Structure 1
Amino acid sequence: MEKPPRCKFTVFFFIIISLSLGLISFVLCIAAEIKRNKEEDLRWNGKLCYLPSSKAFGLGIAALVSFFLAQIIGNSILLKYSCWRRKNKPHFKVPAIAKILVLISWVSFGFAAILLIAATSMNRKQPYRVGWLKGECYLVKGGTYVGSAILVLVTVCSVNGSAFSTLKSSQANQHQHTKRHKQMG
């Protein structure tokens, strides 16, 4: 049973959507790096500190949302296509490279999500006596958002590369299967 071309188009469509969301998240991370609070924004009255909210907070939230959606869509399409292949072709196996890429995507996803969540929450308003943690104000270190932007790209490219390699692997298996058929008959 061969997969109709419409379903392959759907797989490619969702891969493109996932890549687009990942690129949007990357750009938002870079913008958040530019708009994050700097030392000159910190106000100190001798005992207490105050940091105003920055635009990096909203940009970080938007980056997180698009990043989560990219990861969910990429993994969903990979899972759905792999399950469909196993259902219709019991001998189908997910390629080893696809498994490695999925592992890389989840590890980098975890690190990027932690960096983005922490950095974004630090760019929220930190009033006197409240601060970010135990009444103290914290600034996001330079390069934190850039590092998370790189991890976003690694994550999205890994999960979509895994889906693409699974798709290509199944096409190669189909061609080998039809060649064997022709030799027998």
Structure 2
Amino acid sequence: MESPPKYKFTLILFITISLSLGLVSFTLCVVSEIKRNKKEDLRWNGKLCHLPSSPAFGLGIASLVSLVLAQSIGNSILFKNYCSGGKRNARYKIPVVARILLLISWLGFAIAVILLIVATSMSRRQPYGEGWLNGECYLVKGGAYAGSALLILVTVGSLIGSALLTMKTNQADQGHKIHAQRG
């Protein structure tokens, strides 16, 4: 017997939403990489520096929010079914490969969030005498947002892979249990 249609629909809906938010976050990171401040934007008066706000600041925040939502939504369906009512659901199993993909997803998520937070905070306005850190101006290195974008793809891809493997494994287990009961 297959999974209930409601479960399949919910899982597919969550996967679609998570994938969409991940792609939005990826796109925003790519645009942030293009729109980040360049060396030509830096103003120097001999002692102090000034760096205007970059469009990458708002794009980075939007990318960060999209990534957090994608990760939250993607994981919620797995954990909701696995840990129902505070104890493990006996008929819902997460295979080893899916667990590894889930771990990769969380590691990629953590590194991408750190990169995005640092790069986005550097993209804020850095006035004369204040700068980003200790009164000094800092530019976002080329590739910081692009690296985040690649990590976002890894994060969302492994999260969706984990969900799909879990769905297929549980369908196979349910089919196997039915055949075992008949014979």
What residue in structure 1 maps to residue 38 of structure 2? 38
What residue in structure 1 maps to residue 60 of structure 2? 60
What residue in structure 2 maps to residue 147 of structure 1? 147
Task: Name the count of aligned residue pairs.
Answer: 181
Q: Please tell me whether the aligned partners of residues 82 and 166 of structure 1 are also in contact (alpha carbons under 8 angstroms).
A: no
Q: 1:38-84 deviations in whole A, cap 9, x for unaligned?
A: 00000000100000001000000000000000000011011112235
Q: TM-score, normalised by structure 2?
A: 0.94
Q: Which amino acid aligns with 1:137?
A: C
What residue in structure 1 maps to residue 131 of structure 2? 131
Report whether the alignment pairs 1:181 with 2:181.
yes
Provide the rounded CA distance (Å) in 2 between the counterparts of 1:174 and 1:2.
7
1:4: Cα distance to partner?
A: 2.0
What residue in structure 2 maps to residue 82 of structure 1? 82
Q: Structure 1 pair 2/86, CA: closer, same or farther in 2 (3 Å)?
A: farther
Provide the rounded CA distance (Å) in 1 between the counterparts of 2:4 and 2:164.
17
Q: Structure 1 pair 2/87, CA: closer, same or farther in 2 (3 Å)?
A: farther
* Aligned 1:2-41 pairs, distance under 5 A: 3-41=3-41
Q: Please tell me whether the aligned partners of residues 81 and 89 of structure 2 are also in contact (alpha carbons under 8 angstroms).
A: no
Q: 1:78-97 deviations in whole A, cap 9, x for unaligned?
A: 111223594353xx532001
Q: 1:133-158 deviations in whole A, cap 9, x for unaligned?
A: 00000000101100000001111111
Q: What SS is found at the alignment partner of 2:161?
A: helix
Provide the rounded CA distance (Å) in 2 between the counterparts of 1:19 and 1:2.
24
What residue in structure 2 maps to residue 108 of structure 1? 108
Q: Which amino acid aligns with 1:53?
A: S
1:2: Cα distance to partner?
A: 6.5
Instruction: Report runs of 4+ in structure 1 exceeding 4 Å deviation.
Output: none
Q: What SS is found at the alignment partner of 1:110?
A: helix
Q: What SS is found at the alignment partner of 2:172?
A: helix
Q: Which amino acid aligns with 1:163?
A: A
Provide the rounded CA distance (Å) in 2 between the counterparts of 1:6 and 1:148.
35
Q: Which amino acid aligns with 2:6?
A: R
Q: What SS is found at the alignment partner of 2:178?
A: helix
Provide the rounded CA distance (Å) in 2 between the counterparts of 1:29 and 1:119.
10
1:161: Cα distance to partner?
A: 1.1
1:178: Cα distance to partner?
A: 1.8
Q: TM-score, normalised by structure 1?
A: 0.93
Provide the rounded CA distance (Å) in 2 between the counterparts of 1:8 and 1:168.
11
Q: Which amino acid aligns with 1:40?
A: E
Q: Please tell me whether the aligned partners of residues 2 and 175 of structure 2 are also in contact (alpha carbons under 8 angstroms).
A: no
Q: Please tell me whether the aligned partners of residues 30 and 145 of structure 1 are also in contact (alpha carbons under 8 angstroms).
A: yes
